[in-house]
Chain A
Amino acid sequence: MGVAVLLKQVPDTTAKISISGDRVDEASITKWSISPYDEYALENAIKLKESGFGDVVAITCGPSRSAKCLTEAAAVGADRLIHIISESPLDSIQVQSLLSAAVKESGCEVVMCGKQAADTNSGSTGPGLATTLGFSCVGGVTEVSIEGGNASATRLGPSGLEQVEVAVPCVFTFDKGDSELRRPNVRGIMMAKKKPVDVFSAEDLGVDVGDSMVEIKSHSSPPEKKPGQKFVGSDSIPEVVSKLREEANVI
């Protein structure tokens, strides 16, 4: 038993994204962090461990710099660290085949990840991985508890906020919840530095990733907006309302 938590390293959400040539300039990004929703997945996994569920296995797939998010996870309580080294951008199938091989290696039947990574903003990995592994999937959860082979989760689904039950094995994708994220203490940080990281290449995991079927052609900055019109006081509202109709054509 145990929980696998998938952590992706992304530019910190406060980082400025600049374009150099026709690619996002990674070298200009000074701070990299664990993708925000993944932190809620990690927090819940550690809570499960505290309730006696089993070890927390933190898994990341990415270039060497991403090892840092494993150490950060160890500092708050992750027991085993797995780094799948991959230097080039991967398409959804490639990411999912690598992560599913690592989950199998870990032996975990409960997987927790973010509902959406802060770089891709995709939300593909959780449901795709569950399908590849033959697991169930519950998305947009804020809290998961497990008893016996059954998990109970709070999710924001299409019909509202619900309490659902699902049998393990299952992938849970996390949304931001109410839970306070724990911060590492000094002892945790010291221990984490010594924690070994299991490093795997695709070959080590027996995965032939092949070529990416999604070719990144270019990155660009979002189009600049032309400066807006400013009005003072509620007397201007009739004019603004007519502009919304005549000029903007939106009402």
Chain B
Amino acid sequence: MSVTVISESSNGALHPVTAQLVGAASSLGGSITVICPGGVGSSDAANIAGVTKVISVEGDCFESYDCVAWSKAISPLVEGDLVLSSSSAVGRDLASSIAASMGVPVVQDVTSLTEGFSATRPIFSGKAIEEVGISSPCAISLRANSFESAGDGGNAEVSSVNVSQDITVAVKQALAKASERIDVSEADIVISGGRGMGEPANFSHLEEVADILGAAVGASRAAVDTWGEIPHSMQVGQTGKTVTPNLYIAVGISGAIQHLAGMRSSKFILAINKDADAPIFGVADYGIVSTWEEALPVLKEHLSDLLSN
């Protein structure tokens, strides 16, 4: 069995989910090749325990994102029977395109994987879980925070490959830069605000808590739709992003079914809402009935006390 892992990057560095992909690959046994698109994070990838070798694939086509061009550059380097990527937007694109070029099936957003392969994944926005049997060769994308990370201490050889793949998608203008903040779908902790935040400027209170925790900031659709300052990229829910952090903090969010669809499989949920009957309390592990105006300053103080020690 040999597995090819497509590494994930964010803001020009290796994303920690890559170690989770390697962890999942290790549990299947066999050799593990990590391909780093654009060469991003290749030396960090080589340090992940269990990695057999790293291929840093470089070329002009990696300067901006073009899914088919990237996949054409990467596909010839794929070795073995299984391609693993993260279930981020780019990870899913690459898994599908590489699978299609190899003529093999792809299964996305897998949350558990055993040899052979048997995989489970949420469907219908988490309203049901599907278990599938899939034979290799195939491509599978894995949901972040669902697999144990491989440790470090690896010492894999890194080779560079230069490709001259043409790019067909040209970026003409950046309209809004991606937030420097960590994306909700990638974070271990997410703190989201809803219409109960009153006005968009109050999201700064959520950002302060997020900074203490190293968390991402998300929002409900009501917040995104009401306030232009809150971009759709922050929206959690059925028509936004699906998140599975270790901790999800919902502040001033009522807990409509469409919001729950995007966050209910978080490991732990903390809700802060002034209405004791808000449906969000039905899914919260810890619910605090309070206004955010009262709760957030106290929360901030106690978290920073705890985390600075």
Mark A residues whose CB is within 8 Å of B: 11, 13-14, 16-17, 19, 24, 36, 91-93, 96, 115, 118-132, 135-140, 152, 154, 156-167, 170, 175-176, 213-222, 225, 228-234, 236-238, 240-245, 248, 250-251
Contact = CB atoms under 8 A, between A and B. Distances in A.
Top 6 A-B pairs, shortest CB-CB distance: A160-B178, A131-B100, A128-B100, A17-B127, A163-B173, A124-B96
Contacts of A152: 172
B107 A121 contact: no
A216 B285 CA distance: 32
Contacts of B270: 240, 244
Contacts of A118: 124-125, 238
B135 interface: yes
B288 A215 contact: no
Nearest to B177: A160
22 contacts: A93-B103, A115-B89, A121-B125, A124-B96, A128-B99, A131-B96, A131-B97, A159-B174, A162-B171, A163-B173, A164-B172, A213-B134, A219-B131, A222-B126, A229-B286, A234-B295, A237-B298, A237-B299, A238-B302, A241-B299, A241-B302, A251-B303
Q: Is the interface of A mostly helix, strand, loop or mixed?
A: mixed
B189 A240 contact: no
B205 interface: no
B268 A244 contact: yes
Interface stretch (B60-68, B76-84, B155-163, B193-201): B60-68
Interface stretch (B26-34, B43-51, B276-284): B276-284
Given A127-B93, A128-B97, A236-B288, 5 more contacts: A127-B71, A157-B171, A222-B129, A228-B286, A240-B288
A137 B67 contact: yes
B104 interface: yes
B306 A241 contact: yes
A233 B135 CA distance: 53
Interface string B161-188: 0000000111111111111000000000
- Which residue of B169, B176, B239 has the most chain A CB atoms within 10 A of its CB atom? B169
B89 A91 contact: no
B288 A237 contact: yes
B202 interface: no
Nearest to B92: A123
- Which residue of B95, B100, B239, B276 has the most chain A CB atoms within 10 A of its CB atom? B100
